[in-house]
Amino acid sequence: MSNLIQLLPDHIANQIAAGEVIQRPASVVKELMENAIDAQATKIEVNIKDAGKSLIQVVDNGCGMSPEDADICFARHATSKVRKADDLFALSTKGFRGEALASIAAIAHVQMNTKREIDSTSVCVEIEGSKIISKEEAVTPTGTSFQVKNLFYNVPARRNFLKSDQVEFRHINDEFERVALAHPEVHFTLLHNDKEIHCLTPGVLRKRVVDIMGKKSNDRLIPIEETSDIVKLTGYALKPEFSRKTRGEQYFFVNNRFFKSGFFNHAISKAFEGLLKDRYFPSYFIFLEVDAGKIDVNVHPTKTEIKFEEEKYIYSILLSSIRQALGKYNIAPTLDFERETSFDIPATVRTQTPVEPQIQVNPTYNPFTSTNKLTPSEGGRKSDNFSKAIKSEGFGNDTAKSEDWANFYSIEEEVSTTESEPKLIPQESNPTGSQFIVKGNYILAPSKSGFMVIHAKRAHEQIIYSSMINSFISNPIESQILLFPLEKELSKNECSAWKENQSMLQQLGFKGTVTKGELHLEAVPSVLQDETIQSGLNHVIEAIAHRDIDKGDIAHELVHSISRSASLRRLNLDTKEAIESLIERLFQCENHMFTPGNKKIIDTLNMDVIEQKFT
């Protein structure tokens, strides 16, 4: 019997390694940009074609490589950063394992031109599937240029898993911005299909943040600065009123290396506690400087997860620093007992003579006298029917008590109700005298087996979604022209996403133009009311610019976003006719059990379950 264990050939081993390091075109951009930073480049240009599927080109003016280094740089674990194991715990560079170029060369066609300042000519190397095809001299400027073409050409299964160009380029843009934020002293340029997306000139960190976020963000930044023996903190957080419903603008860097940390993110969320609207997230750009020997950056193939030796102390410092910054810039509520309070008095009444308030008392008021407007005689047939229903269910035989129940459920219109109180709507067409009960967002209706509970707002959302999606297939969604155009600042990524999806957005009822980082919206879908327009627009921008949605699903997702916002307006469920109409339209929907987001609309309370609760 022959032996079973064999050494993998190099080309297979390289492809396996590539699967860990190169997950999509954005991974290539990240690795090549970080190599350029390590080469001390002061200018880096990234040129992308077809979201990186056709071409990824990264050109830098760094130190370049010698002809000998150009030969070996594509070999596995070829690195200039590590000489001994201890070097892994004192890293000051981006790359160190020597896997990036080997992994890229294993799954793409790569051409590299590199030249040192002391050399008269450059070295041009072409490599395909880990095999060097040619090596010759050329004439290029000092620095290194990589052209990566036909990514995953020999791994078709991986290529098939790539998403739409819009989604893949969004990942490229994210990686580009992360590297650019960490190095504001470097000039970065990003082109996609010959269109300039970013041109970031060197400057301080605040300038780099504003260049990426948009000019208006300058007034929204809260500086953060703290120095201790454990960590030095610098960076910015955005004021609470500019928080977002996505986590896209949350950046942590340690020693200028981007990383993700749910633990540290919790510290910032806790610092913003009480200042954010429900389901909104703070935006921040936080830089940590820590002793390189007290972190381990080698715990994840993509190096986005980092282990900290003193993470609990850093958590506490981060929490207190953010709170201090919010308080210092009068974001968090504070008490100042030394402040001159006379300035709180409005100028119009500051000179008026104070008048002693008069207290008026009603001497005939008796708290034990009933003030209920509904009497047994006024209740009429509706109150009697409900009393009989209550008696038949065994709730009691006292007529007065039954009428008290009727009063609580507010059968008559003159008895005031609030949204927190249940309302009982008569269903006169039902021979048994059954009723609808409305409480908050819920409708309770009798059914054969017990009771049917309907979430009214979710039902409304599904009704709007079904109507819009059926209309969208054949005709544009009806628009309403805004009396005053709505202006909204967008990030560069959001501007690009809006322009790429403009025809579809017009089909959905959004009509507007993007100029100089601002959206000028002239019309919106007619299903959106004044109070829901802003919410609907935010949901749509979130969907097209901050979420990974395939091109085939984008229309459904946008319609869902609009219907979700449109359903936020207050529903009128004060009459039997309104409730019947809502239920009838819901059951006309193809899917009346769940919303487009897969949330339950209808549930049932069987009598068996109810009886078990009283056994």
Segment (H or E) for 73 = none
Burial code (b: 16+ CB inside 10 Å, e: under 16) for 373-395 equals ebeeeebeebbbbbbebbeeeee
Question: What's the CA gap between 348 and 247, in Å, rounded?
Answer: 45
- DSSP reduced 3-state for 522: strand
Q: In the prediction, which pLDDT does 418 show?
A: 41
Q: In the prediction, which pLDDT does 1 show?
A: 56
Segment (H or E) for 512 = strand 511-515
Burial code (b: 16+ CB inside 10 Å, e: under 16) for 129-151 equals bbeeeeeeeeebebbbbbbbbeb
Cβ atoms of 244 and 489 within 8 Å: the answer is no
Tokens read off for 194: 């010959």
- Name the E strands within 151-220: 187-192, 195-200
Question: What's the CA gap between 99 and 78, in Å, rounded?
Answer: 7
What are the DSSP calls for 139-159, one per residue? ---SEEEEEEESTTTT-HHHH
Cβ atoms of 111 and 146 within 8 Å: the answer is yes
Q: In the prediction, which pLDDT does 385 show?
A: 42
Q: Count CB atoms within 10 A of the CB of residue 295.
A: 22
Segment (H or E) for 64 = none
Question: What's the CA gap between 502 and 521, in Å, rounded?
Answer: 12
In sign, the C-alpha dihedral spanning 574, 578, 582, 584 is positive
Q: In the prediction, which pLDDT does 515 show?
A: 84
| Of 184, 171, 314, residue with least CA distance to 256 | 184
Q: In the prediction, which pLDDT does 331 show?
A: 60
For 610, how many CA atoms within 13 A lie in the half-sphere containing its CB?
A: 9
| Of 419, 386, 382, 379, residue with least CA distance to 402 | 386
Question: What's the CA gap between 418 and 282, in Å, rounded?
Answer: 34
CATH 3.40.50.150 is held by the domain 442-615: no
Please report where in the chains the tokens 């207050």 appear, as a residue.
570
Q: In the prediction, which pLDDT does 287 show?
A: 96
Tokens read off for 206: 């605040």
The CATH code of domain 10-200 reads 3.30.565.10
Question: What's the CA gap between 365 and 204, in Å, rounded?
Answer: 71
Cβ atoms of 317 and 228 within 8 Å: the answer is yes
Q: In the prediction, which pLDDT does 96 show?
A: 53
Tokens read off for 460: 């409304």
Q: In the prediction, which pLDDT does 605 show?
A: 85
What lies within 8 Å, CB to CB, of 345 at 6+ separation is none
Q: In the prediction, which pLDDT does 182 show?
A: 95
Question: What's the CA gap between 234 and 254, in Å, rounded?
Answer: 11
CATH 3.30.230.10 is held by the domain 205-328: yes
- DSSP reduced 3-state for 603: strand
Tokens read off for 210: 């504003």
What lies within 8 Å, CB to CB, of 224 at 6+ separation is 233, 234, 235, 236, 237, 284, 286, 321, 322, 325
Question: What's the CA gap between 159 and 23, in Å, rounded?
Answer: 10
Which stretches in the chain have pLDDT values below 70?
A: 1-3, 8, 10-20, 77-98, 248, 298-303, 330-352, 367-434, 550-552
What lies within 8 Å, CB to CB, of 75 at 6+ separation is 98, 102
Cβ atoms of 382 and 411 within 8 Å: the answer is yes
Question: What's the CA gap between 415 and 423, in Å, rounded?
Answer: 10
Question: What's the CA gap between 507 and 525, in Å, rounded?
Answer: 10
Tokens read off for 87: 């070097």
Q: What is the pLDDT of residues 526-538, one digit of tens each?
A: 888 777 788 888 8
| 599-to-299, 354, 548, 591, 603 alpha-carbon distances in Å | 37, 57, 21, 12, 11
Q: In the prediction, which pLDDT does 145 show?
A: 96
Domain assignments of the chain as residue spans, ordered by start: 10-200, 205-328, 442-615
Tokens read off for 91: 């890293």
